[in-house]
Amino acid sequence: APTTRAGKAADYLDQRTSVGSAVKEFARKVFPDHWSFLLGEIALYSFIILIITGVFLTMFFVPSMALVEYHGPPATMDGQLMSDAFASTLHTSFEVRGGLLMRQIHHWAALIFMAAIVTHMMRVFFTGAFRKPRELNWLVGTLLMILGLLAGFSGYSLPDDVLSGNGLRITDGVVKSIPLIGSYLSYFIFGGEFPGDDIIPRLFTVHIFLIPGLILALVALHLFFVVLHKHTQYPGGGRTDKNVVGYPLFPVYTAKAGGFFFIVFGILALMGATMAINNVWSYGPFDPSPVSAGAQPDWYMLFLEGSLRLMPGGAEFVMWGDWTVSLNVLIPAVVVPGILFTFLFVYPFLEAAVTKDKREHHVLDRPRNVPVRTGLGVAFLTAFIILALAGSNDLIATHFHMSINTITWVFRVLIFVGPWFGFWITKRICLGLQRKDRELVLHGHETGRIVRFANGEYIEVHRPLDEQERWLRVNYSAHTPLEVEPATDSRGVRRKGYAQDKRMQRLSRFFYEDRIEPVTPAELAAAHSHGEHDAI
């Protein structure tokens, strides 16, 4: 029988729930260790901090658009007409003890949350962690990313200052650009013509209940999948698709993760305490007329802003007398993000179809070994960054004293050539790195030591790789492009599905083009005798 107090408590619980064996099983689960696996944790911890600080903010925030005459600090706002929402944000910031700190931690946590999600997603993408059996978790993740965007957007729209009001104004325009249903949808969302006085209370419910609830449920599913599938691991000595090398969840991982939570919390608290963010009183309450240069959304929404700013204004026409088609808004604000998000949703399935790879993968890819995937990832990021920069074209113009029209035209060209260029350069770098790996496996490291033989011949001494290094450089994606059967079968009848196979084959060729062959045993043997020559 247990003698310690903790033991007795555990025993009490176990006798009533038989949770013991599950806990033991769970505590022994092994997690591999790598710094890049912390990115998902940062997303998780900043979400927890968003909930904690968010609950605090709900105690003081008044989700109402009723007009009030504000009296209180700061002096510039005293006596102004504004909504309850804006007034309560000022009150929270200036008169509630710790209020400004909480608002600032909340806002910084939102920025870090999205940054962690995006970098976590990049880690998963570039290492191929989305491959079987984790495709579904990739989908859950992509949903989480989109919910994160909506959480941030609904949050920074709440204070009803000039910046957030203008963000909503743009949203109204985007919704109205949707053909046929646009204006009805806008009336539905705003409860009448923009801005009405329903949108803030509605966004409030969405922001503090609907979206966090969905995120919470999906994060639970996401982590359940991580446990179910087990975590992937980087290639290295002794690691295979059949084992997991790492530390047990308890006590090593729980201690590490618990400590890491406090590090994230500490850094966010420090940021909230020392770095001003979203000083809404310097913009003032919402009023559609004053929009100045330097009005930017939070970074994760900048790509949408940039997309809108790049689109030439002319693409708008009236059909059938009174029906306006606003392609100038529809394309950048609905079609472009639609394409970007669709790419993210379908990529794991597309790659699986192109490689016909049905194996499970628990050892991660080195990005260089899958040049086309890595190239596509860089192309995607290039597009994202160009759009985000285009969303800051006014700031670039004022900071660097350049013409905003020139900047906009440069980005209009870049958005087409940039991703292509990014893809091409990345693919070449990957292939170069693979060649370098091949060279290392065959001939070892250069040492810079030159030896002269008695017969006058000079050679450089090479140091062979150790087991770890060699393991890392084994090419894991030793696949060949799809070969399709001929167009007609043995009796000359045209085969069904041939055209589709042919199309897939073309994609597959593209994926494996310029493939660098893995080192063969014969090559290794030849290099070995060469090495012996060196040794002599």
Residues in contact with ligand HEM by CB under 6 A are 37, 39-41, 43-44, 47, 50-51, 54-55, 57-58, 61, 89, 92, 103, 106-107, 110, 113, 117, 120-121, 124, 129-130, 134, 137-138, 141-142, 144-145, 148, 151-152, 155-156, 158-159, 207-208, 212, 215, 219, 222, 226, 231-232, 278
Taking the C-alpha atoms of residue 536 and residue 459, their distance in angstroms, rounded to an integer, is 11
Give the burial class of 242: count Cβ atoms within 10 A of its Cβ; 0-12 exposed, 13-18 middle, 19 or more buried.
exposed
Tell me the closest approach of the beta carbon of residue 43 to ligand HEM, in angstroms: 4
Tell me the closest approach of the beta carbon of residue 102 to ligand HEM, in angstroms: 9
472: alpha, beta or left? (left if phi > 0; alpha if psi -120 to 50): alpha
Tell me the closest approach of the beta carbon of residue 92 to ligand HEM, in angstroms: 5
Residues 6+ apart with CB under 8 A from 534: 459, 461, 462
- Nearest CA to 212 among 46, 333, 337, 340? 46
Query: Closer CB to ligand HEM, residue 200 or residue 414?
Result: 200
Query: Closer CB to ligand HEM, residue 110 or residue 268?
Result: 110
Query: Closer CB to ligand HEM, residue 302 or residue 527?
Result: 302
* Continuous segment of H or E residues that includes residue 18: none
Taking the C-alpha atoms of residue 143 and residue 147, their distance in angstroms, rounded to an integer, is 6
Query: Closer CB to ligand HEM, residue 192 or residue 258?
Result: 258
Taking the C-alpha atoms of residue 338 and residue 347, their distance in angstroms, rounded to an integer, is 14
At residue 492, φ and ψ (nearest 5 deg) are: 80, 10
Residues 6+ apart with CB under 8 A from 128: 361, 364, 365, 370, 373
Query: Closer CB to ligand HEM, residue 170 or residue 226?
Result: 226
Tell me the closest approach of the beta carbon of residue 65 to ligand HEM, in angstroms: 14
Amino acid at the residue 368: R
Tell me the closest approach of the beta carbon of residue 198 to ligand HEM, in angstroms: 17
Query: Closer CB to ligand HEM, residue 144 or residue 482?
Result: 144
Tell me the closest approach of the beta carbon of residue 48 to ligand HEM, in angstroms: 9
Query: Closer CB to ligand HEM, residue 207 or residue 368?
Result: 207
CA 338 to chain centre: 16
Query: Closer CB to ligand HEM, residue 139 or residue 472?
Result: 139
Q: Strand ranges (DSSP E) for 313-368?
A: 316-319, 323-326
Query: Closer CB to ligand HEM, residue 219 or residue 372?
Result: 219
| DSSP code, position 233 | B
Query: Closer CB to ligand HEM, residue 159 or residue 332?
Result: 159
Taking the C-alpha atoms of residue 11 and residue 242, their distance in angstroms, rounded to an integer, is 35
Tell me the closest approach of the beta carbon of residue 110 to ligand HEM, in angstroms: 4
Tell me the closest approach of the beta carbon of residue 113 to ligand HEM, in angstroms: 5
Query: Closer CB to ligand HEM, residue 244 or residue 397?
Result: 244
Task: Take residue 409 and report the two structure tokens written for it.
Answer: 């035209």
- Nearest CA to 383 among 353, 340, 442? 340
- Nearest CA to 317 among 171, 173, 179? 179
Tell me the closest approach of the beta carbon of residue 7 to ligand HEM, in angstroms: 30
> CA quadruple 226, 228, 232, 237: dihedral positive or negative?
positive
C-beta of residue 131 within 8 angstroms of C-beta of residue 352 = yes
Taking the C-alpha atoms of residue 362 and residue 535, their distance in angstroms, rounded to an integer, is 39
C-beta of residue 341 within 8 angstroms of C-beta of residue 146 = yes
Tell me the closest approach of the beta carbon of residue 377 to ligand HEM, in angstroms: 12
Taking the C-alpha atoms of residue 52 and residue 32, their distance in angstroms, rounded to an integer, is 29
Tell me the closest approach of the beta carbon of residue 160 to ligand HEM, in angstroms: 9
